[in-house]
Amino acid sequence: MVTPGTFIKASISAGKEFFRPPVDDAARAPHRPPVLVPIRSIGPTHGERIEKHLLALEPHDRYLRFGYAARDEQIQRYVAGLNFERDEIFGIYNRKLELIAMAHLALSIDPELKSCAEFGVSVLKHARGRGYGARLFDRAVMHSRNEGVSMMFIHALSENTAMLNIARKAGAVIERDGSESEAYLKLPPADLDSRMTEIVEEQIAQTDYRLKVQAKQFWNILAMVQEVRQGVRDSRDRMPI
């Protein structure tokens, strides 16, 4: 559970990050994930970032995520068809405000199966090895419980061992049918702990995102000022003595 103390520490840590210049995600050590990963609920205004994230997936990653080698047009149609009012989209952003990992929790539209949901996740290649997929899965499980979902499904290709391992560790029952697998995870009902934890974690994620937006604006302005200064120096150097 995320406690108020954890929230305060995370906010202070995020504030310190403001003063550090952005770095390339690929340069970060994959085996040293942060203690707390801010996972933000994403709305329709972030459709462009969702599309950019999915289009950045390599062909094999698209195959594992969608179960087929999705073309750009198919991904664009998928994003255009997202129902943000019914489903839940979760995302992890880096300091450049790039969506490096996301999960889609699709709630059932069948009235007889309204207590069921399906989970799908994708992580960009350079951001793997940090446990983001598992963190997104845990976040989706907590939200599902709080929404009254009692059964979560994960439909994946049998070769998608990373996703199946995450489901298996959570206690899901996995059934294989040739090249495809189906994982079933029975969820406990919501309680005070799950409800409060989701509220606090979402607040942390929103705070983290706002700080990243401010940091990006700060570094963009600083870069522009440095560019102007460099232009002045270059002009002065070219002036005849």
Q: Which two tokens stand for residue 108?
A: 């059932």
User: Is pLDDT of 49 > 50?
Assistant: yes
The label of the residue with tokens 């560790």 reads: 169
On whether the CB atoms of residues 91 and 40 are closer than 8 A, the answer is: yes
Other CB atoms within 10 Å distance of the CB of residue 120:
18
Residue 209: per-residue pLDDT: 84
The CA dihedral of 137, 142, 145, 147, to the nearest 10 degrees, is -100
Rg (CA), the chain: 21
User: Is pLDDT of 30 > 50?
Assistant: no
CA separation for the pair 98, 162 (Å, rounded): 23
Residue 234: per-residue pLDDT: 61
Calculate mean pLDDT across residues 166-187: 91
β-strands 180-186, 99-107 pairing: unpaired
3-state secondary structure of 22: coil
3-state secondary structure of 179: coil
On whether the CB atoms of residues 123 and 133 are closer than 8 A, the answer is: yes
Residue 56: per-residue pLDDT: 97
Instruction: Give the chain's mean pLDDT.
Output: 83
Q: What is the CATH number that goes with domain 4-14+22-238?
A: 3.40.630.30
User: Which letter, b or e, does each residue of 125-138 get, where b requires 16 or more Cβ atoms within 10 Å of its Cβ?
Assistant: eebeebbbbbbbbb
User: Is pLDDT of 208 > 80?
Assistant: yes
Question: If 0-12 CB within 10 Å is exposed, 13-18 middle and 19+ buried, where does residue 79 land?
Answer: middle
Residue 190: per-residue pLDDT: 94
Question: Using 50, 70 and 90 to split pLDDT, how confident is the model at 31?
Answer: very low
Its pTM stands at: 0.76
Question: Using 50, 70 and 90 to split pLDDT, how confident is the model at 111?
Answer: confident
On whether the CB atoms of residues 18 and 72 are closer than 8 A, the answer is: no
Residue 237: per-residue pLDDT: 60
* 194 or 8, greater pLDDT: 194
User: Is pLDDT of 79 > 50?
Assistant: yes
User: Is pLDDT of 193 > 70?
Assistant: yes
CA-angle at 198, arms to 83 and 206, nearest 5°: 75
Question: Using 50, 70 and 90 to split pLDDT, how confident is the model at 18?
Answer: very low
Calculate mean pLDDT across residues 89-101: 93
